[in-house]
Structures are given as C-alpha cells and as structure tokens.
Structure 1
Amino acid sequence: MSTLKERLSADMKTAMRAGEKPRLAVIRMLQAAIKQREIDERVELDDAACLAIVEKQVKQRRDAATQYREGGRVELAEQEDFEAGVLAEYLPQPLSDDELTALIDEGIAETGAAGMPDMGKVMSWLKPRVAGRADMGALSGRVRSRLN
C-alpha cells in the first residue's frame, strides 16, 4: 500500500475522532476517487498515481470556486476553497521560482531544445520532475517564454 493512502487512512481516523465532519468528508471523497480509479483500471495505484488524482481534485475545486465567485455564490466558493485547502495538504511542497527556473534551464539543455517546436520535449522532461509541485499551465507559459 502506498504511503499517501496510508496517510489518508490515518487522517480519516483522526478526523473521525476529532469530530471534524467537513474535513472527514473531503478525505473520504479523495479516498473514493482513488478507489474508483483502482477499480476502473484493476490496479493498485502507487503514490505518483494517487498524487495525480489529488492534483486533479485540487484543480477542479479551484476552478469551481472561481466559477462560483463569478456567479455571486460566495458560500459555495468558500466550501470549494476549504476542500481545495484540505486536498492541497497531500501535495508536496511547491517549487520556488528559482527552482523552477533552474529546472526549465536544465530541461532545455537536456533535451537540446532550440525553439518552440521543441516545447513538447521540454514539457515531457519536466512533467515527472515537477508533479504536484508546480502548476503545469503556468510552467508551460514560462517554458514558452524561455524558448522564444
């Protein structure tokens, strides 16, 4: 069993004992998403796959919060922000701007990228190294500006 799933299980028990129902609901929802993927794919997910699910869930919550704010539904946006905050606790520490810049430079050097046609190579090289630690959309923009 992966360590992330063990941590989720332990945090669920802690939330139950503490009577933290909103937090408990978010943890259970995440466990259900992981279990559903395991059932669908008939595999035991490792930490990297579980981390990808957490990333996706956080992104969905943040997008929903933005849409709720635009629609004037502040109470629903706050709920989504709370859920995103709980889920974000399971993501690794984000990379700093300096670390990202160094990784981008290293990726460009490693792949021999000379311009925009090579952006896919650089992004493919970067993706496993920044998984869960950087926003891929923002990273893509930084790589694009660096290659131009």
Structure 2
Amino acid sequence: MSLKDRLLEDMKAAMKDKDLIRKNTVQMARAAILQVEKDNKVTLDDEGVIEVISKEVKKRKDVLPEYEKSGRQDLIDNLNKEIEVLMGYLPEQLSEEQLDEIVKITIQEVGASSMKDMGKVMAAIMPKTKGRADGKTINALVKKYLA
C-alpha cells in the first residue's frame, strides 16, 4: 500500500472513530500533497510524499515556540498531537549517535576543514538523511565539527 493510500485509509478510520485532530491533520497533509502534485503537474511517489510530510512537520515545529510564548496550552497540545500523527508517516528518525556518525563520515568524504565548506557538507548530507532527520539538528552538528 502506498503512503497516499495509507493516508486516505487513516483519514477514513479517523472519521469513523470521530478523532477530529487525526482526521484534520491527515486531511491537511493530503491537501499539501495534492497541491504539490497540481503545482508541479506530477504524481508523487512515496519519497515525494515523505518530503511533503517532512515539510508539514517542520512548519508545525517552527510555530511551536510562538504558541509557547502565548501560553495557550490547548493550542500547544493540538500542535504536538499533529506532529505526532505526521511523524507516524515518516521513516524511523535517526538517533543522535547515528547522525553524529553520518556527519563525521561526510566531512571526511568531502574533505571539509572549515566553516567555508559548510555548504558542501550540507549538500552531501541532506540526501543521506532525507525525511529521517531535522535539518537544524544536522546543521548544528556540522557547525560543531567545522568550528
């Protein structure tokens, strides 16, 4: 079963279970996927769907600090539930140790020695970690080793 089919089935199940947050989250993810397909006139495979879902997770994680500043616990809880639902569709996330190892190996492969090589290192790492790690975390690790 493709990821798009799984999203559809999960949305139907959430509707039957009257799980409003899950239904709305899956519906928003499906809408984002459809938008990308229409804009680019393509049909996304599972890898493309994972990319769209990763962006949706990133959007939610980016607004979380703003919600925390506002002190609206209900919104924070909803956002965390949405992130949790979306993470269920992504491949297993890399651990800190695994990421650390990938960063070290990639820096050696690229031959990076200073912060000037940051772009080369990031360009080499991102395809290896696509959908399995947060870009900010990777960026921080690369800076740690190149600084």
2:117 and 2:64 map into 1 onto residues whose CA distance is 35
- Matched with 1:140 is 139
Contact 1:65–1:76 (CA under 8 A) maintained in structure 2: no
Residues 107-148 of structure 1 show CA distances to partners (whole Å, capped at 9, x for unaligned) of 112212122111111111110111121111121111111112
Gaps of 5+ in 2: none
* Higher mean C-alpha displacement, 126-135 vs 62-71: 62-71
> TM-score when scaled to structure 1?
0.90
C-alpha RMSD of matched pairs (Å): 1.6
Identity of aligned residues (%): 39
Gaps of 5+ in 1: none
Runs of 4+ in 1 over 3 A off after TM superposition: none
- Matched with 1:78 is 77
Q: CA deviation at 1:8?
A: 0.9
Q: CA deviation at 1:62?
A: 2.2
1:97 aligns with 2:96: yes
- Matched with 2:43 is 44
Q: CA deviation at 1:37?
A: 0.9
- Matched with 1:120 is 119
Q: CA deviation at 1:77?
A: 1.5
How do residues 58-73 of structure 1 correspond to structure 2 at under 5 angstroms? 58-73=57-72
1:71 and 1:15 map into 2 onto residues whose CA distance is 29
1:116 and 1:18 map into 2 onto residues whose CA distance is 51
The number of residues matched between the two structures is 147
> TM-score when scaled to structure 2?
0.91
Contact 2:21–2:78 (CA under 8 A) maintained in structure 1: no
